[in-house]
Amino acid sequence: MKKAKQPGAWISISVFALIMLSQAEKINAQSTTKLPGLFYDSHFHLTNYVQEGITVQRFLQIMGNDVQRSTLFGIPLQQQWSYGNSGNFAPTYYLASDAPLYYYSFTDAFIAMAYKALPAKDQVKFDPMITGFNPADMYAADHIRRVLKTFPGVFSGIGEFTIHKEFVSSKISGEVSSLINPALDSVLSLAAEAGLVVLLHNDIDMPFPKPGQKPYLLEQMGSLFRRHQNATIIWAHCGLGRIVRPVKEQLAMLEDALTDPQLKHVSIDISWSEVAKYIVATPETISATAALINRFPDRFLFGTDEVSPADSKAYMAVYNTYQPLLEKLTESAREKVLKGNYARLFDAARIKVRAWEKAHAGN
Ligand SMILES: [Zn+2]
């Protein structure tokens, strides 16, 4: 009897092993299967500094089949048209006027309504973000809570919002924002609690720093991020700007941050044509950046930072500029930077934020 049982046991073990093997293959196949399209856009502005732009339906046409997912936000700041400053000239960009910028909270309702007007098959392509709060206001977190409760089922994150930005921060009416303001701590605490992805713009340094001058912004930002290790944070543009150039030790500084176990929750977006310009400037900058991304492929996200692009040519420009960098990435790193990391962070956010909204409905 014992001997008769053995072949049976052997067969069931073999069947079990086969099932396990095919499951492992499935998992393997999933991790190497390419997600559809060229990229997912982790940084996209539907509207500009005077709250105008293209419709989300037009954006869907521009995305076509090449871009199957994107974040969706306006710009929280409105450039005032001050007659006393520019007369009949109507500025549409922050560099076009000396008049101040102010926080325009209606942007969140505008984005939510645009999203809600879409059919479900198109809604799944977008991750709308809350931006219309003043990060120097202790009431900022209350605004975010109010938006989530007013528009449940819509938002996945907050941002792009700005703390220090060349030309911009100093133009905003009212108290200037800072990385050491407890108002910002309460925003990040709420983001962690609700599962909202945080997309933060903060320049890595001041424009034209003196040689040897320590970038105090970087130090303050490091402490801020370490205080909020449960938040999912994306640092926009590697901290670069129009005239905030890559500091000499930029890649070494990024490497320090990426190896810091207390900063595991921080990813970096390489969005903006200005940033692409620095990264693809020379064969050396391309190789050095590619080497860093290949070493930390889970920590970088592609984004365009396009503001209300007129057509697909304008929209694809940043992606096209980045080709020399993308070619130097391993296949798996490229897939993660272009799509995989976006899917991982925002899929998790959608689940967490929906759960938070459910738990807080009616409160
Ligand atoms: Zn942006």
Q: Give 20-63 pLDDT, tens digit per residue.
A: 445 544 444 445 568 999 999 999 999 999 999 999 999 999 99
Instruction: Give CA–CA dist 202/169, Å, rounded.
Output: 10
We find that the CATH architecture of domain 7-81+89-359 is: Alpha-Beta Barrel (3.20)
pTM score of the predicted model: 0.88
Compute, in angstroms, the gap from residue 286 CA to the centroid of ligand 1: 22
Compute, in angstroms, the gap from residue 171 CA to the centroid of ligand 1: 17
Compute, in angstroms, the gap from residue 360 CA to the centroid of ligand 1: 30
pLDDT computed for residue 27 by the predictor: 44
Compute, in angstroms, the gap from residue 172 CA to the centroid of ligand 1: 16
Compute, in angstroms, the gap from residue 303 CA to the centroid of ligand 1: 9
Which stretches of the chain drop beneath a pLDDT of 50? 1-13, 15-21, 24-30
List all residues 6 or more positions away from 68 whose beta carbon is below 8 Å from its beta carbon. 35, 36, 37, 40, 125
pLDDT computed for residue 32 by the predictor: 53
Strand-strand pairing, 44-45 and 306-307: parallel
First to last CA, the chain: 67
- Nearest Cα neighbor of 275 from 311, 317, 309, 219 is 317
Compute, in angstroms, the gap from residue 245 CA to the centroid of ligand 1: 17
What dihedral angle (degrees, nearest 10) is formed by the CA atoms of 334, 337, 342, 344?
70
